[in-house]
Chains A and B, each alone.
Chain A
Amino acid sequence: MEFMETRRGFLKKSALGFGSVALASLLGPSSLYGNDLLGSRPQNILGGSLGGTHFPAKAKRVIYLFQSGGPSQLETFDYKPELAKWHGKEIPPSVQGTQRNSGMVSSQSTFPLVKSIYDFKQYGQSGAWVSEIFPYTAQVVDDLCIINSMRTDAINHEPAVMFLQTGSQQSGRPSIGSWLSYGLASDNKNLPNFVVLLSKGGGAQPLSSAAWGNGFLPSHHQGVQFRSGKDPVLYLNNPHGVHDEDRRRALDYVSQLNNHQFDVWKDPEIQSKINQYEMAYKMQNSVPDAVDTKEEPDYIYKLYGEDAKIPGTYAANCLQARRLAERDVKFIQLYHMGWDQHGGLPGGIKKQALGTDQATAGLIKDLKQRGLLEDTLVVWGGEFGRTSFSQGRLTADNYGRDHHPGCFTMWMAGAGVKAGMVYGKTDEFSYNVVQDEVHVHDFQATLLHLLGIDHEKLTFKHQGRRYRLTDVHGHVVKDILS
């Protein structure tokens, strides 16, 4: 006590003070403060703010195969034979209801329904319907849990991608991988907790790096993007004439300086910087081994498709993803663009399928035979679905489909998810969800649950408020848990 206290002042303060502390402990500390403020737990700068999962995790790592652009559910997994009867007819207002259309069909005066040009068949013991454009995926349906009843709030690419990846349509929130990197300790100190792999080429729609951004979390939790070229990480070798020991010593001195600055300013971003330098140094050794696919035997390339030999393709990235999963990277995020078929859908989606189908199925098979599907969760899906009516003119062999937030298909496979399940139903037009809706926040809550996290308890205080991935929403979809 620096200043003189009056007797009354002291009593008043201590009574109120002790009282509120007691009250706080009665109410349950974690519910009041969130784990970030508890302070009793040493803050692990490398992640692991939770200090342990809330319950035993089914999944130790995630491979998220993001199909950017919004793959049509109608040409892939959501089989609607009834649409044949309605083909070419106007969509009934009772079906469309109050769901909004995007501005891109505002000049359209007619909204003819259109059936899938591709045939569907039932596969596997589960009898799941899969379109003929996915012959390889069809072989692994008994390992998948296909969710036909996904729903999102956003109708355009950027906000919809953000919504799935960060739980908010506006960019600036941490992505799923960052939350996991922040909450769960790394299993491999030599590789980043969160790696991002983009397919080369891409589509008409840009993909912003905010989708794998750390938002307000310390910046070393952002996704580390591997380049889609021959060298996934540049400048791994020391410059000519610089010895490894020199590099180490230089880093140690830089780190000392940084630590000194941190003691003065207490800016957590300084610690992030130290971590990033340190990780970069470790990656000099760990990355060459992780990304060197030369040792992969031919039969593995056959499994993923010949494309896997070309760096930067989706197939090569799938193979890469398996290698990273074997090395216990926590969150491996792939992005493959080009699913945005506003027009020329029959040709466009076929091309997309050719570029991804075999590798996706190959990844599932490869993970499974290595036993990795036991504790690896694989997620496949885009940011929204596509409309049941045609965008642009409907001809005998051509049509388009616009963005549709009302329903779309995703699948999950592996750790803790029921295999060989088809979950949720849409109406006969695949326009509205009629059974077991899974909202984006529900999906996120379920994903965290599989990793052993209660989605309501992984929080971070920022600008006076505690944030979480699912904001104030989300219910774990218990029906799909095995």
Chain B
Amino acid sequence: MGNTVEVSDWIIFIGRFHPLMVHLPIGIIFAGISMYFLARKKKFSQMKSAIPFLMGAGAVSAVLSCIFGYLLSFQGGYDNEALNAHQWMGMALAIFAVLAYVSVVWKKTKRIVVLQSGLMVFLLVGLVYTGHLGGNLTHGTSYLTQYSPDPVRKLVGLPPKPVKRPPVTLLDSADIFLDVVSPMLSDYCVSCHNPGKSKGDLILSTYERILKGGENGPGVVGGNLAKSELFRRVSLSEHHDDFMPPEGKKPLSVEQKKLLELWIMKGAPDKGQMGNFEIDRDYLLAANKVLGLEGQGNNSLAKRVEPADSSVVASLNAKGYLIRTISGGSNLLDVSFLSNGNKESVNIEELLPIKDQIVYLSLGNLNLRDEDLEVIGQFENMVRLNIHSNPITDDGISFLGRLENLEVLNLYGTKIGDIGLEGLVLLQKLSRIYLWNTQVTPEKVGNLKAKHPDLEINMGEVSS
């Protein structure tokens, strides 16, 4: 690999002309050989006179290519084995090219012609093979096979092309093995545990082989974490000798391990949609993170709805609501009513015609009552709800239990108590809740935090 000795720029500079140079002998020698055979036919016999020139030019350019290629090898960064093969083949080829040239300008005898034909055929095969080795060196070994259609793959003994999974946009429709576990193993494990390399006799590129495991016993036993060697290896302490992936390779994240655990505990099925399993909140959050469904790619904000009726929006605007789409290209709405500080009442039922569009609703410091929350409880697509400093109690809060998409809930300055909070934590997507200046007790919050470590409950800094 990398050479620690400083190499002169000139060497690499000239070396980099190798890819340009190599195509000369390939083309010229190929032309020479084809003419050599064609010229035996009477129709092409006039080609005979060009053969010595072509074979000569081919030999010279082959020798030059070797020199340039040797210089290029100083750049480092190539797989040594592959480099050696290409290098020796290249040099052998150059020597044979010179021999071929010598033979075509040599005196003609019958014996030489037979030898010559063999030499030419050998040269042709060598040319193709050496070129292929060089191509692999530059473009990688999978360059040719990557886009090859299935019949070709079959011919060279490759498994049929895996069907590409569409990107996951909804957690519920993600496949627990194909979308969650399998990509993880491909990224982290398969480079050493594949049919070509199979370290520890373990292959992790197919479902069957994952279960089967390697020389240390079965890889995965459905429902049994302790007997699943694969899980044991990745969840050890990083300093443990058995820890996988080995030192220097990126270990699985906490969330990824959680998902592996989930898959095994659900019986390690070979497929099945996430939505069909009963899955605890922590695992769902981990899945969201691993699949990149949180934040920007949040599916709650990517939802497609009809645009809101513009006359309804206009009339609500006139009543003092501020109504915006969440971005230029979206029909989802961000609705707020800015309090003037006098606890105005609003008629919440006016929002019902746009209830499907509302994802953000901000009605802080108004005169909302418990019965108003019954209406708000119908706004199913709601992601953020801010109803701080309103005279609402646990009775009304219970209606919010229907807002399954709710992620952030601001209830500071309301009369919510422990009972109301208990109902809310069941909302699976809820990640932050604000409870400063409410009747919720710190004991209750302490309890819930232990049970739902990923739910952020904010009780505020100071209280009245």
Contacts and interface: CB of A to CB of B under 8 A. Distances in A.
A466 interface: no
A369 B458 contact: yes
B432 A374 contact: yes
Interface stretch (A54-62, A97-105, A114-122, A390-398): A54-62
A327 interface: yes
A187 B322 contact: yes
B327 A481 contact: no
A250 interface: no
B327 A369 contact: no
Interface string B419-436: 000000000000010101
B295 interface: yes
Given A52-B325, A369-B458, A370-B388, A187 B410 contact: no
Contacts of B384: 374
B405 to A, nearest CB: 15
A457 B400 CA distance: 39
Contact of B295 (A57, A327, A481): A481
Contacts of B325: 52
Interface string A30-59: 000000000000000000001111111100
Given A187-B338, A303-B461, A370 B327 contact: no
B301 interface: yes
B408 interface: yes
Given A369-B434, A371-B388, A374-B432, A55 B327 contact: yes
What interface size band does chain B fall in? Answer: 20 to 34
B328 A328 contact: no
Contact of B462 (A185, A303, A328, A452): A303
Contacts of B462: 299-300, 302-303
B352 to A, nearest CB: 23
Nearest to A328: B338
B386 interface: yes
Given A187-B322, A370-B434, A299 B327 contact: no
A369 B338 contact: no
A307 interface: no
Contacts of B327: 52-57, 452
A53 B325 CA distance: 9
A289 B340 contact: yes
Interface string B429-464: 000101010000000000000000000001111111
A51 B325 CA distance: 10
B296 interface: yes
B324 interface: yes
Interface in B142-194: none
B156 to A, nearest CB: 40
Q: Which of A51, A56, A328: most chain B Cβ within 10 A?
A: A56
B2 interface: no
Interface string B335-364: 010101100000000000000000000000
Interface string A359-395: 0000001101111001000000000000000000000
Given A369-B434, A370-B388, A56 B330 contact: yes
A188 interface: yes
A29 to B, nearest CB: 14
A368 B456 CA distance: 12
A370 B389 CA distance: 10
Given A54-B327, A57-B327, A327-B338, A370 B436 contact: yes
**What secondary structure prevails in chain B residues at the interface with A?**
loop
B31 interface: no
B412 interface: yes
Contact of A369 (B324, B341, B436): B436
Interface in B273-320: 295-296, 301
A299 B462 CA distance: 7
B326 interface: yes
A297 interface: yes
A36 to B, nearest CB: 15
A289 B340 CA distance: 9
Interface in A348-365: 365
B432 A369 contact: no
Interface string A413-455: 0000000000000000000000000000000000000001000
A138 to B, nearest CB: 15
A6 interface: no
A297 B340 CA distance: 19
Contact of B296 (A327, A369, A481): A481
Contacts of A481: 295-296
Contacts of A303: 461-462
A125 interface: no
B400 to A, nearest CB: 15
B464 A297 contact: yes
A374 to B, nearest CB: 6
Interface in A101-133: none
A370 B463 contact: no
Interface in A295-327: 297, 299-300, 302-303, 327
Nearest to B384: A374
Interface string A57-79: 10000000000000000000000
A374 B458 CA distance: 12
A482 interface: yes
A371 B458 contact: yes
B71 to A, nearest CB: 32
A280 to B, nearest CB: 19
A195 to B, nearest CB: 16
A56 B301 contact: yes
B341 A289 contact: yes
A254 B327 CA distance: 37
Contacts of A56: 301, 326-327, 330
A178 B161 CA distance: 55
A371 B408 contact: yes
A371 B386 contact: yes
Contacts of A185: 324
B142 to A, nearest CB: 29
A482 B341 CA distance: 33
Contacts of A188: 338
Given A374-B384, A374-B408, A368 B458 contact: yes
Nearest to A54: B328
Q: Which of A54, A188, A327, A369: most chain B Cβ within 10 A?
A: A369
Interface in B350-389: 384, 386, 388
B420 to A, nearest CB: 17
Contacts of B461: 303, 365-366, 368-369
Q: Which of A50, A53, A370: most chain B Cβ within 10 A?
A: A370
B248 to A, nearest CB: 20
A280 B434 CA distance: 35
A52 B328 contact: yes
Contacts of B341: 289
A123 B461 CA distance: 18
B338 A371 contact: no
B445 to A, nearest CB: 14
Interface in B387-428: 388, 408, 410, 412
Contacts of A370: 388, 410, 412, 434, 436
Interface in B232-246: none
Contacts of B463: 299
Nearest to B325: A52
A369 to B, nearest CB: 4
Interface string A167-210: 00000000000000000010110000000000000000000000
Given A54-B328, A55-B296, A369-B412, 5 more contacts: A55-B327, A289-B341, A327-B338, A371-B410, A481-B296
17 contacts: A52-B325, A57-B326, A57-B327, A185-B324, A187-B336, A289-B340, A297-B464, A299-B464, A300-B462, A327-B338, A369-B434, A369-B436, A369-B458, A369-B461, A370-B410, A371-B408, A481-B296
Closest 4 CB pairs of A and B: A52-B328, A369-B460, A371-B410, A371-B434
Interface of A: 50-57, 185, 187-188, 289, 297, 299-300, 302-303, 327-328, 365-366, 368-371, 374, 452, 481-482
